[in-house]
Structure 1
Amino acid sequence: MNKLTKAAIAGAAGIALLLGGAGSLALWNATDTVNAGSITTGTLEMTATAGSWTSAPALWVPGDSATYSATVDVTATGDHIKGTLSIDATTVTLPSGVTLALTIAPTSGVNANGDGTFDITGAGNYSIPVTVTATFDSGADNTSQGQTIDLSGLAFRVDQHA
């Protein structure tokens, strides 16, 4: 091999070595920490008290309805907290033709919106009167005869929303 070819090969190898190491070349940098304090989250808790049925028929037939009245105690901490109160539909099984509807009564510090939602005016403890209306649709079919509807597991649910 002549000197020019050897020099070209050596030069190419040197450039390849330099370029291969370019990815690991570190530029200067620095980091520092600052005491930014801490953030504390709020809470949303609920306890439902046992209630009672009013004028519930012993044996229901299509067209019957009854109401269940109870109190739901909500403890809320946090700025600008709002919530939605509902019946937890996963806790009861209803036959065709039977529906449950929740009504929330306005009370101090709680604005009931008529659609199962309420706005809490700030952090605090709230006792919210609720009514569940069970209705047996007058157009229910024959499959609803002789059914037992177990409402012993009826549960309420409260979810925080923006």
Structure 2
Amino acid sequence: MRTSLKAALAGVAGAGLLLGGAGSLAFWNDTQTENGGTIESGTLNLLDRDCSGWVVAGSEPATTVDLLNDFLVVPGTEVSKTCTYGVKVEGVLEASLSVNDADDDGLELGPELEVTSDFSILDSVGDPSVGDAVVVTGGVGKWTFNQADTGKTLKAVITVKLPFEDGVVNNAANSLVGDGDKVALATRLDDLTVTVKQTS
């Protein structure tokens, strides 16, 4: 039995030496290569900007004004401008639609102005009342764009208003000063930027 045990131990030791000399024991393995592909980015573009002038609400006939020259607002004044943009979309994405508010430039009237926007997506350029189908409207916050929107028109109506209501600073804009002269408030309306921004 001792001779058999010695022979068995010698066999195990020999196997160990063989493994050590080989460096390591290779396990079975296999690989397969799968084809890759080209990845391209989509696009979301606003094209062919076309904007009207500023139109005074309620004026008959419609009165277009230059806000930078010789136009004076009073409480209750509301002016709006309509801009249209061609849409080009490749891919599918959800985006927010917005117009930046007028910045407070430190002049008294700035904080009182209200800037709002209303968006529509039309099948073609024009007024939906004469046959263009409105896909979405009502001052939307978000819209899911896809390639079917390419060739449609994004319409943005931007409105700037000086409110006529209690609690607004403009109620004091005509307060008497000194010998009876009135206080004239002023502001500058910064550039208004229409933004379509991917959200998901």
Q: What is the TM-score with the length of structure 1 in the denominator? A: 0.65
The separation in 1 between residues aligned to 2:50 and 2:85, in whole angstroms, is: 6
- Give the drift of 1:155: 1.0
Contact 1:51/1:71 (<8 A) preserved: no
| Greater relative contact order (Cα < 8 A, sep 6+) | 1
Residue type at the aligned position of 1:69: T
Contact 1:60/1:136 (<8 A) preserved: yes
Match of 2:195 among 147, 153, 157: 157
- Give the drift of 1:76: 0.9
Q: Which of the two has higher C-alpha Rg?
A: 2
- Give the drift of 1:110: 6.3
The separation in 1 between residues aligned to 2:26 and 2:99, in whole angstroms, is: 60
The separation in 2 between residues aligned to 1:136 and 1:125, in whole angstroms, is: 36
Q: For residue 41 of structure 2, give the secondary structure of its aligned residue in structure 1.
A: coil
Match of 1:137 among 159, 163, 184: 163
For structure 2, the 5+ residue unaligned runs are 1-23, 57-64, 105-109, 124-132, 174-183
Contact 2:114/2:160 (<8 A) preserved: yes
Residues 78-120 of structure 1: CA deviation (Å, up to 9, x unaligned): 1x3343221134xx41412211111113411862242333344
With over 3 angstroms needed to count, the CA separation of the structure-2 counterparts of 1:26 and 1:106, relative to structure 1, is same
The separation in 2 between residues aligned to 1:42 and 1:68, in whole angstroms, is: 31
Aligned to 1:88: 100
| Identity level (%) | 20
Aligned to 1:100: 115
Aligned to 1:51: 52
Higher relative strand content: 1
- Give the drift of 1:35: 1.1
The separation in 1 between residues aligned to 2:192 and 2:156, in whole angstroms, is: 13
User: How many pairs are equivalent?
Assistant: 134
Q: What is the TM-score with the length of structure 2 in the denominator? A: 0.54
| Structure 2 residue 139 is the aligned partner of structure 1 residue 115 | yes
Residue type at the aligned position of 2:198: Q
For structure 1, the 5+ residue unaligned runs are 1-24
- Give the drift of 1:156: 0.8
Residue type at the aligned position of 1:93: D
Trace 1:11-90 onto structure 2 (pairs within 5 A).
28=27, 33-47=33-47, 48-55=49-56, 56=65, 58-78=71-91, 80-89=92-101
Residue type at the aligned position of 1:147: A
- Give the drift of 1:60: 0.7
